């Protein structure tokens, strides 16, 4: 039977999510990759245990995680809960999302309808054997469904006791502004937006999403902070055959040219001077943005989680370091 580390809360940093009462760990674990049907269950369980032992309390899922068997990540997480973790449910913040294609027919395709979101959340709860999730997100903006309907569906999940808070993901600042107005009218506990963001993907700054979120009390839970693995040591000398780029498992492989590799090496040099790995500095840099409440990491091994969590040991940047980083990112 699993027994967690008694000192798990001593080092982790916990940030308030926007203006809500909910605190999230600075580093959260996303179960998008390596927790689905094709993963090794023993490794999944060890990663979850390692994360919790390090103070990670927030585990982020979605209805479609576990491709090609949608929902298998939630099923595996439910199994892990059953094998000792469920006793610590009140110490966990569990989130799931719905929005992408999930099942056959018009009610399970990519959308934000009340029909789809309600059915999907019920399915997710059954897979994880939970009475409620802490955060339920609409996973991706749907231009074909009125935002008022999506807001009402998320609000209804809270009123039914199936979610404590709601969030949105992959919404830009204007879309966030519009749905926020509905949430305010409904008094829905809308606390978080989950966008992609990294040193190499700064769209939320150009769009103004981070500024809007900070000004309006919405936390950001950032995914892909390592830009599909670019911001790790894997590509400093080229493309390893067993990497995501080498396997053709990422859509940004064509960006890894000589200029990018030179930029990554420059960033790695700055990280080394700071006493960090490149991935640790990349995570620290994301958390340096005041709008960010937590950064979502993925992992294939427990050791990766331990390495990345160590980013919290050096979150501050000097003005000189920021200037040097900005020069490399031009």
Contact 286, 315 (CB under 8 A): no
**Distance of alpha carbon 40 from alpha carbon 30, whole angstroms:** 16
Q: How far is CA 329 from the centre of its chain?
A: 23
Q: Would 271 be classed as within a structural domain?
A: no
> Mean pLDDT over all residues of the chain?
95
Tell which residue, 68, 48, 67, has the closest CA to residue 58.
48
Judged against a pLDDT cut of 90, whether residue 13 lies above it is answered with yes
User: Strand 133-138 vs strand 14-16: parallel, antiparallel, or unpaired?
Assistant: unpaired
Question: How far is 39 from 73, CA to CA, in rounded Å?
Answer: 9
Q: For 106-126, how does the pLDDT look when each residue is reduced to its tens digit (9 = 90+)? A: 999 999 999 999 999 999 999
Higher per-residue confidence, 221 vs 243:
221
Please tell me the predicted confidence (pLDDT) of residue 257.
87
> How many CA atoms, within 13 angstroms, populate the side-chain half-sphere of residue 187?
1
pLDDT at 266 over 60: yes
pLDDT over 60 at 247, yes or no: no
Of 295 and 242, which is predicted with more confidence? 295
Beta bridge partners of 27: 295
Give residue 180's pLDDT. 98
pLDDT of residue 242: 57
pLDDT at 245: 59
Cβ contacts of 35 within 8 Å, gap of 6 or more: 44, 47, 65, 66, 72, 73, 76, 77
- In this structure, the chain runs to a length of 330
The structure tokens 């000189």 sit at 320
Taking residues 132-145, report their average pLDDT. 98
pLDDT in tens, 179-213: 999 999 999 999 999 999 999 999 999 999 999 99
For 57, the domain range is 14-229+285-314
Mean pLDDT of 138-146: 98
Q: What would the pLDDT profile of 271-316 be if each residue is shown by its tens digit?
A: 999 999 999 999 999 999 999 999 999 999 999 999 999 999 999 9
Report which of 45, 47, 67, 63 is spatially closest to residue 1, judged by C-alpha positions: 45
Q: How do residues 209-235 score in pLDDT, each as one tens digit?
A: 999 999 999 999 999 999 989 999 988
Model confidence band, residue 103 (pLDDT cutoffs 50, 70, 90): very high
pLDDT of residue 82: 98
Q: How confident is the model at residue 237 (pLDDT cuts 50, 70, 90)?
A: confident
Specify if 78 maps to a domain. yes
Predicted confidence band at 255 (pLDDT cuts at 50, 70, 90)? confident
CB 151 within 8 A of CB 183: yes
Do the domain assignments include residue 262?
Answer: no
Is residue 111 included in any domain, yes or no?
yes
* Nearest to 35, CA basis, from 25, 22, 24, 46: 46
Residue 248: the pLDDT is: 58
CATH at residue 29: 3.20.20.100
pLDDT of residue 241: 58
Please determine, for residue 239, whether its predicted confidence score (pLDDT) is greater than 80.
Answer: no
Closest CA to 141 of 184, 98, 102, 181: 98
Find out whether the peptide bond into 68 is cis, omega within 30 degrees of 0.
yes
Nearest to 156, CA basis, from 206, 120, 192:
120
| % of the chain surpassing 90 pLDDT | 91
* β-pairing verdict for 27-30 and 190-194: unpaired
Count how many domains the chain has: 1
Domain assignment present for 237: no
Q: Quick one: CA dihedral 194, 199, 201, 204, positive or negative?
A: positive
Residue 182 maps to a domain: yes
Q: What angle do CA 165, 169, 175 make, to 5 degrees?
A: 100
Residue 324: CB atoms within 10 Å: 17
Q: Which residue in the block uniquely carries the two structure tokens 């094998």?
A: 83
């Amino acid at each position: 039977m699993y027994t967690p580390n008694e000192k798990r809360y001593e080092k982790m940093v916990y940030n308030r999510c926007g203006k809500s009462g909910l605190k999230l760990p600075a580093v959260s674990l996303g179960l998008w990759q390596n927790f689905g049907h094709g993963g090794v269950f023993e490794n999944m369980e060890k990663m979850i245990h390692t994360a919790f032992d390090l103070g990670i309390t927030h585990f982020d899922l979605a209805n479609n995680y576990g491709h090609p068997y949608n929902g298998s990540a939630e099923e595996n997480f439910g199994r892990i809960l059953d094998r000792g973790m469920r006793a610590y449910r009140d110490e966990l913040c569990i989130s799931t999302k719905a929005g992408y294609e999930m099942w056959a027919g018009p009610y399970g395709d990519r959308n934000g309808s009340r029909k789809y979101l309600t059915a999907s959340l019920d399915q997710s709860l059954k897979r994880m054997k939970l009475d409620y999730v802490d955060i339920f997100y609409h996973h991706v903006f749907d231009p074909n469904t009125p935002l008022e309907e999506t807001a009402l569906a998320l609000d209804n999940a809270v009123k039914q006791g199936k979610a404590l808070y709601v969030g949105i993901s992959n919404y830009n600042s204007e879309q966030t502004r519009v749905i926020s107005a509905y949430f305010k009218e409904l008094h829905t506990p809308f606390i978080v937006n989950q966008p992609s963001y990294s040193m190499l993907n700064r769209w939320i700054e150009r769009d103004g999403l981070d500024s809007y979120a900070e000004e309006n009390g919405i936390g950001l839970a950032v995914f892909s902070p390592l830009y599909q693995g670019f911001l790790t040591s894997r590509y400093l000398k080229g493309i390893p055959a067993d990497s995501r780029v080498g396997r053709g498992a990422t859509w940004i492989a064509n960006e890894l040219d000589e200029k990018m590799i030179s930029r990554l090496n420059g960033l790695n040099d700055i990280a080394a001077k700071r006493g960090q790995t490149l991935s640790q500095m990349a995570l620290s840099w994301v958390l340096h943005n005041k709008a960010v409440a937590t950064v979502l990491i993925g992992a294939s091994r427990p050791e990766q989680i331990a390495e990345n969590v160590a980013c919290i040991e050096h979150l501050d940047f000097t003005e000189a370091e920021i200037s040097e980083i900005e020069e490399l990112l031009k």
